[in-house]
Amino acid sequence: MNHKIRCVAIFTKRNNEEAKTVTSLLKEKIKGQGIEVIEFRKDKLDFPGSDVDEKLDLAIAVGGDGTTIKAFRLLPHNVPVLCINAGGTRGILSEVSKNFVESILDPLINGKYFTDRRIRIIAHYNNRISVPVINDFVLMRSELNKTPMFHICVNGDSFGQKMDGIIVSTPTGSTGHSLSNNGPVIQENLECLLLTPIASVNRMPPFVLPMERITISASHDTQLVMDGQITQEIPKNTEIKIVKYAYDAVFLRFKKNNTRQLNKLGYNI
């Protein structure tokens, strides 16, 4: 991509001085080029009287992965996001850290970047549709003294397992909750799903599936956690259908890196 940008939205991690400092620098430099800057206010963009879809060229998430995930959830689906790790921890979703912001300002302002798409998934349950998630759905038992039987169906083929919960991850989310439960890291460009059991009675291993529809239900009440940020109570025996979302998450990148996840996890040469 090589065009001049006109309008940028900035999401900043709340109550974090590092993130605020980086945002101040970005605003100064970007506005100095005559580019409009729109800031994130509470749970919406401060963008009165305008059509966000038509006006926004890109967004910048300044913080950790949580800030990036929230930005994707609130933005129009076609807006690419530049993720800057400032005030986060590993920042696995980020393109650059706070120390390299100055180096990317010129290519950013002049549109010298490319976009990188990642699949998202949504869940259907009780005539409702969840928010799209870029990382994972985590389905956990609500009652700590009861271990549910989870029934999982993949394109008509089904199995059951008693366990505390199950994680359904995208390849992007394979470095999230799933990795903490001994799941594998899956290269982000692949179109597949990762199912990772949580404390299964028979020690069922994680397994990878093609990007197919998955239906899950549990014999007891559960909690559905979406990207670690939104929780929904799910009554027992409720079917949850998980499918690919129609719109990918679009990341803004400056260089190609097929081992990005491993590098962010500390596996550098």
Give the chain's end-to-end CA distance (angstroms, integer): 30
125/202 Cα distance (integer angstroms): 27
Q: How far is CA 107 from CA 4, 11, 26, 112, 257, in A?
A: 10, 20, 13, 5, 18
226/89 Cα distance (integer angstroms): 20
Is 53 a known active-site residue?
A: no
Question: Is residue 90 within 8 Å of residue 260, measured between CB atoms?
Answer: no
Q: Please work out, in degrees rounded to the nearest 5, the angle formed at the alpha carbon of residue 130 by the alpha carbons of 67 and 59.
A: 30
25/31 Cα distance (integer angstroms): 10
Cα atoms in the Cβ-side hemisphere of radius 13 Å centred on 190: 17
238/35 Cα distance (integer angstroms): 49
**Other CB atoms within 10 A of residue 257 CB:** 14
Question: Is residue 84 within 8 Å of residue 72, measured between CB atoms?
Answer: no
Pick from 67, 122, 127: which is nearest to 91 by CA?
A: 67
Q: Which of 65, 116, 136, 164 is catalytic?
A: 65
Burial class (CB in 10 A: 0-12, 13-18, 19+), 151: middle
Q: What are the catalytic residues?
A: 65
